[in-house]
Amino acid sequence: MSVVDRQEWDVVVVGAGGAGLRAAVEARERGARTAVICKSLFGKAHTVMAEGGIAAAMGNVNSGDDWQVHFRDTLRGGKFLNQWRMAELHAQEAPDRVWELETWGALFDRTKDGRISQRNFGGHEYPRLAHVGDRTGLELIRTLQQKIVSLQQEDHRETGDYESRLKVFQECTVTRVLKDGGRVSGVFAYERESGRFFVLEAPAVVVATGGIGKSFKVTSNSWEYTGDGHALALLAGAPLLNMEFVQFHPTGMVWPPSVKGILVTESVRGDGGVLRNSEGKRFMFDYIPDVFKEKYAESEDEGDRWYDDPDNNRRPPELLPRDEVARAINAEVKAGRGSPHGGVFLDVSTRMPAEVIKRRLPSMYHQFKELADVDITAEAMEVGPTCHYVMGGVAVDSDTAAARGVPGLFAAGEVAGGMHGSNRLGGNSLSDLLVFGRRAGLHAAAYAAELGERPTVDSGQIDAAAAEALRPFSAEGHIAGAEPGRPPENPYTLHQELQQTMNDLVGIIRREGEMREALKKLADLRVRARRAGVEGHRQFNPGWHLALDLRNMLLVSECVARAALERTESRGGHTREDHPTMERAWRRVNLLCSLTDPTDGLAATDPVRGQIALTREDTEPIRPDLLALFEKEELVKYLAEEELYE
Ligand code: FAD
């Protein structure tokens, strides 16, 4: 039996991005002893990289804005597949969450009359993104960290121990959620530096681990985003919702190759930047879909006038939702009208003075100067789509963030599904983290407090988790279907093959044959990954860490591929070349992924059966008073006949 350290907490939060930290603050404030555990350094999460801002209908720049307009925009962006109750709560509560950040010390950019400034972003009818230059996520995390420190100081005054009620375990990775019967009982984790295993026992666990981008070759995501929380929930028995919806942000860097995929914020377009092809044409005017025709400018003149007079002009099509812009760029490149390095041109240099560019987009100016030797005040950037965000995620209850089917498990932030439907609007993630991070913390704390008897951690599960984590050190062909004695596989090679497979076969434009091929490759990679072997010891060993992450990436990739194959329509972040239109009947369908029988060893090797079972479920009908916020003519474009009738 393994001997591992155990500690008891009321709530464990896995992840220290915006969702995790907001959940931890709330849980601690509600009286729960709360532990936060994060894979990288405290303060280094995707949230910190968020540039554009937090979407909240505060109406500071245009008083026409309110939660109903925000709700409408969010549903349009998600093509009406959003879990509508989440979208409602999000739109209603986001302004309070921004105000709250300000009371905790965040310093947002201001309007001339001293209010929190708000900027334009794709798909948002009014200027709505509260921001701090193009470094909003940094301010959000800084503020939440400061809040955590202040709570720890409070605890020190009362108990003599800073970490008595709120403790951060940084550079530690959770590999399993532990259970007592059906309920959560804690997490199993390892310390990256020492390789030491430990267990945090807790009746409530909030998963807030962010995205899955590292399964794709070209991505804006950094090394930690290997879909861990998605996989942890799946392995614990919670289904994942609509995993086919992966957002390819239209503007990632395309050159030089070493930085391919790094994000170019949408604020560049929100502040006036335009997209041109190799012929110098603003091509987005050719790509306005019917459902959006009435809302977007027909001419460059009208689009340009909108920046100064939004009440009497329509917005330029560069500000269409991300899925539309990404597809348009893809089509231009495919038609041979791309830039020299396979993207298109994004230009601010001819649109605003150099000093304004440097003031409003300081990070972008530095990013291009340092990484590509391009001065964006003098020349256009080259940009193309990059895997950015996953809309699919853990199926949760809208109000409580409780994961479906596993008492004690909660999920918030990018790892949770539903909120954004088939496509997320820019800026709606930071607000999502705050709204649902708070709700997850609140309900996790309440769940832990109300529980009569604490669940116990079974040492057999700890042993199994430890054995699983140690397997890469003794990788031999010892699994069902594998040839004995074959040499171990290199985790880096497997990862590269996985990324290439997902990029090429389940990427921005999808086809049935390619996705079937992807499933075969994933089955092969699954078998090989179980022989992923590493040398050396447990002290800081990145090859070992990657070997463990592969399990998660393979599970999540299979979910994406299976769901994408099943959904025979194009909607939001899911584009099928063989089914190019959005089908109203599919709006009624959610796809749920769950684990196939884990004792069926052969399923892993069989591409047809695989590890993931898909089920269809009807979407919950949208509440009538919310539907009444839309014109009937618009609803006809999205809702199935019987829904309209109802
Ligand atoms: P993250 O901030 O991603 O944090 C996840 C945490 O989980 C990290 O602490 C990580 O270490 C930890 N973790 C992961 N796995 C494990 C594990 N196994 N064990 C322990 N810990 C684990 N959205 C907007 O709304 N506006 C923007 O302007 C914007 N700009 C963006 C710019 C970039 C470059 C990127 C990449 C994203 C941007 N987004 C933006 C999206 C947004 O930043 C993310 O969706 C959001 O920050 C996710 O937050 P989160 O709290 O869910 O997770």
611-641 core/surface letters (b: 16 or more CB in 10 A; e: else) = bbebeeeebeebeeebbeebeeebeebbbee
To 10 degrees, the CA torsion angle through 145, 147, 148, 153?
130
Cα–Cα dist 20/23, whole Å = 5
CATH at 325:
3.90.700.10
Q: Domain for residue 333, yes or no?
A: yes
Residue 607: the pLDDT is 64
Containing structural domain, residue 345: 247-388
Instruction: Output the CA torsion sign for 17, 23, 28, 33.
Output: negative
- Determine the Cα angle at 515 with ends 510 and 521, to 5°: 140
Residue 56: the pLDDT is 98
> Which residues in the chain land under pLDDT 50?
477-482
Total number of domains in the chain = 1
Nearest by Cα to 178 from 6, 396, 40, 23: 6
Residue 481: the pLDDT is 43
Residue nearest to atom 46 of ligand 1 (CA): 47
Q: How much distance in Å is there from the Cα of 162 to the middle of ligand 1?
A: 26
**Tokens 């070493």, residue located:** 258
* ipTM at complex level: 0.99
pLDDT tens digits, one per residue of 323-354: 889 999 999 998 999 999 989 999 999 999 99
CA–CA distances in Å: residue 558 to residues 232, 328, 419, 549:
15, 27, 22, 14
Residue 598: the pLDDT is 60
Length of the chain: 646
Cα–Cα dist 438/459, whole Å = 32
Q: Domain for residue 90, yes or no?
A: no
Cα–Cα dist 349/180, whole Å = 60
Q: Domain for residue 516, yes or no?
A: no
Residue 124 Cβ inside 6 Å of ligand 1? The answer reads no
Q: Quick check: 152 and 166 in contact, CB under 8 A?
A: yes
| 589-595 vs 612-618, strand pairing mode | antiparallel
Q: Domain for residue 530, yes or no?
A: no
pLDDT tens digits, one per residue of 127-152: 999 999 888 999 999 999 999 999 99
Q: Domain for residue 347, yes or no?
A: yes
Say what the pTM is. 0.93
Q: Quick check: 564 and 515 in contact, CB under 8 A?
A: yes
Q: How much distance in Å is there from the Cα of 570 to the middle of ligand 1?
A: 26
Residue 597: the pLDDT is 73
- For ligand 1, pick from 198, 429, 552 the residue to mutate: most ligand atoms within 8 Å of CB: 429
Q: Is 449 helix (H, G, I), strand (E, B) or coil?
A: helix
Q: Domain for residue 287, yes or no?
A: yes
Q: Domain for residue 292, yes or no?
A: yes
- Rounded to whole angstroms, the maximal C-alpha distance in the chain is 73
Q: How much distance in Å is there from the Cα of 414 to the middle of ligand 1?
A: 7
Q: Domain for residue 271, yes or no?
A: yes
pLDDT tens digits, one per residue of 154-191: 999 999 999 999 999 999 999 999 999 999 999 999 99
Residue 433 Cβ inside 6 Å of ligand 1? The answer reads yes
CB atoms within 10 A of CB 282: 17
- Fill in the DSSP letter of residue 252: E
Residue 267: the pLDDT is 85
Strand partners, 206: 13, 410
Q: Which two tokens stand for residue 137?
A: 């996520």
Residue 480: the pLDDT is 42
Residue 483: the pLDDT is 55
166-175 core/surface letters (b: 16 or more CB in 10 A; e: else) = bbbbbbbbbb
